[in-house]
Structure 1
Amino acid sequence: MEIKEVAQRSAKIREQYHQLEMKQDGHPWTTEQDALAFLTDAALVGRQVMAHQGSWPDGQDQQLLADKIGESIWWLSVLADANEVDLDQAVTKFLNDKASQLKA
């Protein structure tokens, strides 16, 4: 899937979640709440990687790891959109910059 498609699909799904939040809380989550939700999922990625490598006592769950990586990417797309960052451009620039730095 192309990054632009990830961004488009992520925005649509986020809007659906906003509707659920309106029903549940009377208002959609703020960008700050979205960022905290992302950090929670990113921490779960870390925990599952530790389990996968045998350094965390909980059993590894490969599907949970894959799901949380996917969800983290979704959250990053949502956060980029909410903060007027073009995800495709940001990732491209980062990769190009790092590749250039490592060549030097």
Structure 2
Amino acid sequence: MSKNDFDTIIRRATDLRAKYRNLELQHHGTEWTVEEDALAYLTDAGLVGRNVMAQQERWPKANAKADLEHKLGENIWWLIVLANRSGIDIKEAVDNFLNKTEKLLV
């Protein structure tokens, strides 16, 4: 994936979060806090674990692969959203993590 592709994904993720914000305002009168976004992410992260179990045939569930694919994508979306709302450049964060960790494992 090129840098431009990741930029497009980030833009689409933030655009989608803005649409959810509009729904939150419509239904609740306020936008979710960053903490509520983090809790939603953690809930979805837990579902990745259950979907991996299902995909590996350790937990009964129909559509295990499709559900796992969806939750993996959703978790990446949440990480982009949380980084954005926290004022963190997700591209820089990932690059810094990879650089630091690669140096540790040389």
TM-score normalised according to structure 2 size: 0.89
Match of 1:70 in 2: 73
| Structure 2 Cα separation of the partners of residues 46 and 55 of structure 1 | 11
Match of 1:13 in 2: 16
Match of 2:100 in 1: 97
Moved more, 31-40 or 47-56: 47-56
In structure 2, the gaps of 5 or more residues are none
**RCO greater where, 1 or 2, for CA within 8 Å and sep 6 or more?**
1
Moved more, 67-76 or 57-66: 57-66
RMSD (CA atoms):
1.4
SS in 2 for 1:35: helix
Identity across the alignment (%): 45
Partner AA of 1:69 in structure 2:
L
In structure 1, the gaps of 5 or more residues are none
SS in 2 for 1:54: coil
Match of 1:81 among 81, 84, 91: 84
Matched, 1:53 2:56: yes
TM-score normalised according to structure 1 size: 0.91
| Structure 1 Cα separation of the partners of residues 18 and 37 of structure 2 | 12
Q: 1:60-88 CA deviation, whole Å, 9 max, x = no partner?
A: 61111000000000000000000011000
Moved more, 44-53 or 71-80: 44-53
Matched, 1:43 2:46: yes
